[in-house]
C-alpha cells in the first residue's frame, strides 16, 4: 500500500522528518518549468531534491512509495554546496536544470535510468563513446527532456549536509526504486542491468590480447 505523502512515515526519526519534510510532503509539487524561479525565490543553492513521476513510467514498482497529486516519489538526489570564484555557486539550479532536465545521460544518472526504462516507448538509440560511456544523439536527449517536462515534478529543500540526508532517506525512508547507490530496493538489480545493456550492440567485437 502506498504511503500518504502528507503523513510522517513511521520509520523516520523526528529529526529526519524535520529535515526531509519539504522533499517528502511539499505544499505543492513543482513542474520542471517552475523550478528555477522557485530556487531563486526560496534562496535554495544546495540541498536535497525529490523526483516524482506519473504512471507513464509504468515499468517501475511503486509499492511503498510516497504519492502526491497523481505522482510517486521514485528518486532523491543532491546538489552539493560549494563556491565558484569565491561566491556560493547555484549548485541546485545547475544540477536540476542543466544536468537532469536539459543535460545528457552522460552527466545525469537519473536521465540514464529514465532513458533505459523509456527506450522502447521513446524510440531512443544509444551508443558508447571511446571511454565506454553511454551516449545519445541530441535529438534523443530532446525527446527525454520533453518527456520529463510532461510527466515529472520536483520537490526540493535547502540542506547543508545533503549527502548525509540522502543516505538516510535511501536507507530508512519510503521506497525509492530509481536510486542505486546505497539502495536496498529489489528493483535495483533490474535497473542496473538495463543501464549496463545500453549501447552494447554498437560496440565492436572484443579483441583477445592473447590471440
Q: Are strands 87-88 and 83-84 parallel, antiparallel or unpaired?
A: antiparallel
94 pLDDT more than 60: yes
Helix, strand or coil, per DSSP, at residue 77? strand
The pTM score is 0.85
The tens digit of pLDDT for each residue in 30-72 reads 999 999 999 999 999 999 999 999 999 989 999 999 999 999 9
Q: What pLDDT, on a 0 to 100 scale, did the predictor assign at position 172?
A: 81
pLDDT grade for 168, boundaries at 50, 70 and 90:
confident
Q: For 47, left (φ over 0), alpha (ψ -120 to 50), or beta?
A: left
The tens digit of pLDDT for each residue in 95-113 reads 999 999 999 999 999 999 9
94 touches 40 (CB < 8 A) = no
* Residue 179 main-chain phi, psi, to 5 deg: -80, 140
Q: What pLDDT, on a 0 to 100 scale, did the predictor assign at position 5?
A: 53
Q: Higher model confidence: residue 8 or residue 159?
A: 159
What is the average per-residue pLDDT within 130-135? 93
Q: Higher model confidence: residue 3 or residue 144?
A: 144
1 pLDDT more than 60: no
22 touches 90 (CB < 8 A) = no
Q: Are strands 134-136 and 126-128 parallel, antiparallel or unpaired?
A: antiparallel
User: Domain locations in the chain?
Assistant: 3-100+151-182
101 touches 108 (CB < 8 A) = no
Amino acid at each position: 500500500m502506498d504511503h500518504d505523502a502528507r503523513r510522517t512515515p513511521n520509520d523516520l526519526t523526528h529529526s529526519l522528518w524535520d529535515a526531509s519534510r519539504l522533499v517528502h510532503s511539499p505544499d505543492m509539487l513543482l513542474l520542471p518549468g517552475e523550478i528555477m524561479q522557485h530556487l531563486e525565490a526560496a534562496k535554495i543553492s544546495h540541498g536535497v531534491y525529490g523526483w516524482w513521476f506519473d504512471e507513464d513510467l509504468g515499468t517501475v514498482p511503486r509499492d511503498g512509495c510516497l504519492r502526491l497529486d497523481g505522482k510517486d516519489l521514485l528518486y532523491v538526489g543532491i546538489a552539493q554546496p560549494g563556491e565558484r570564484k569565491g561566491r556560493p555557486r547555484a549548485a541546485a539550479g545547475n544540477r536540476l536544470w542543466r544536468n537532469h532536465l536539459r543535460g545528457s545521460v552522460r552527466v545525469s544518472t537519473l536521465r540514464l535510468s529514465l532513458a533505459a526504462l523509456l527506450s522502447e516507448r521513446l524510440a531512443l538509440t544509444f551508443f558508447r563513446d571511446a571511454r565506454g560511456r553511454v551516449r545519445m544523439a541530441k535529438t534523443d536527449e530532446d525527446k527525454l527532456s520533453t518527456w520529463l517536462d510532461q510527466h515529472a515534478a520536483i520537490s526540493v529543500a535547502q540542506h547543508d549536509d545533503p549527502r548525509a540526508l540522502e543516505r538516510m532517506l535511501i536507507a530508512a525512508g519510503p521506497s525509492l526504486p530509481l536510486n542505486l547507490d546505497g539502495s536496498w530496493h529489489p528493483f535495483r538489480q533490474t535497473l542496473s542491468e538495463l543501464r549496463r545493456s545500453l549501447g552494447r550492440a554498437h560496440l565492436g567485437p572484443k579483441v583477445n590480447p592473447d590471440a
